[in-house]
């Protein structure tokens, strides 16, 4: 009853081989997990940059048109723009800042976009004479040029990924017109 049947069960060689096989199968899985962690960290930084870029551009667009003149603000040098609007003061902080241990640098470029408006103008007297015939309202197309009524706002946030020295960037652009609010 106490004799052990040596032919049943597994040999040490079998167990060793099975473990080696399993270990080799785990290598690519660990590799994928590592890549996934890196990708998550990258995405996390990108999302932070996108949010930061949105927040700063939204704030810049809240400033009255004349409060931010054409120029470049922020970048390597920190800069705080202040506006004393009727609704209250707004601050916009640009330049380097650290969020959750990652350094982001924001820069705002404001430039003037010259505009040529194509305006179909009518003759009020012709319209008064034939109000139901628009074709006879004496239409003429006028091209009218303007400068300093339409500004382009470009906000760029730069950062670096973990273990990389290459700068990554995210840019948002919008326009603001000199309109009566």
* Residues in contact with other proteins by the rule CB under 8 A: 5, 7-8, 10-11, 14-15, 17-19, 21-22, 24-26, 28-29, 31-32, 35-36, 39, 43, 46, 50, 54, 57, 115-122, 127, 132, 134-135, 137, 139, 141, 149-150, 152, 154, 168-180
Task: Choose among 84, 69, 82: nearest CA to 151.
Answer: 69
2/180 with CB nearer other proteins: 180
Which helix (H) or strand (E) segment is 146 a member of? Answer: strand 140-146
Nearest approach in angstroms of CB 108 to other proteins is 12
59/176 with CB nearer other proteins: 176
Task: Choose among 134, 81, 76: nearest CA to 106.
Answer: 76
30/89 with CB nearer other proteins: 30
How far apart, in whole angstroms, are the C-alpha atoms of residue 92 and residue 96?
13
Nearest approach in angstroms of CB 120 to other proteins is 5
78/127 with CB nearer other proteins: 127
How far apart, in whole angstroms, are the C-alpha atoms of residue 14 and residue 121?
92
First to last CA, the chain: 99
Nearest approach in angstroms of CB 79 to other proteins is 20
Which two three-digit tokens encode residue 87? 């609704």
């Amino acid at each position: 009853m106490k004799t052990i049947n040596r032919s049943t069960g597994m040999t040490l060689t079998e167990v060793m081989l099975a473990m080696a096989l399993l270990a080799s199968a785990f290598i690519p899985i660990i590799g994928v997990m590592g890549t996934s962690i890196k990708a998550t960290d990258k995405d996390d930084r990108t999302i932070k940059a996108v949010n930061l870029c949105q927040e700063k551009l939204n704030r810049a667009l809240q400033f009255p048109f004349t409060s931010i003149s054409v120029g470049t603000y922020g970048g390597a040098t920190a800069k705080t723009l202040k506006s004393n609007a009727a609704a209250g003061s707004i601050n916009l902080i640009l330049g380097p800042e650290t969020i959750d241990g990652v350094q982001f640098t924001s820069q705002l470029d404001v430039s003037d976009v010259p505009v040529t408006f194509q305006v179909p103008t009518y003759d009020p007297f012709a319209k008064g004479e034939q109000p139901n015939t628009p074709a006879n309202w004496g239409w003429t197309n006028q091209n009218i040029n303007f400068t300093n009524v339409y500004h382009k706002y470009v906000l760029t946030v730069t950062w670096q990924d973990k273990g990389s020295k290459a700068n990554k960037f995210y840019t948002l652009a919008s326009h603001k017109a000199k309109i009566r609010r």
